[in-house]
Amino acid sequence: MKCFSLTCCCETNEYDTRILPLLRRMIKLEELTLDITNDERTSFIDGTQINDEILVHMPCLRKFIFHIRTKVELRHLTHYASNEDIQRTF
């Protein structure tokens, strides 16, 4: 498979348990589009995590389009990152 697109129209808490393992197996992927909303997380998904958990497993990837929203209840947040902190990771 060279191209893959995943759109989750509903909020998911399956990012770590289902989505990441699926993406890690796509080592020959050249184009990836992700449009997902994560729920029930204790941290935001930033550029560092995207690189470490997805991109390093896809050496052939040439195009990556993403819109990843993360909903975190502030009382469950383990690391408070500012907008600038998150932007610097990309």
Closest CA to 47 of 32, 62, 23, 64: 64
| C-alpha dihedral (14, 20, 22, 27), degrees to nearest 10 | 170
pLDDT of residue 80: 58
Stated pTM of the model: 0.76
Q: Quote the mean pLDDT of the chain.
A: 86
8 A C-beta contact, residue 57 and residue 89: no
pLDDT of residue 62: 97
pLDDT at 81 over 90: no
Neighbours of 39 (CB within 10 A): 16
Closest CA to 68 of 31, 37, 22: 37
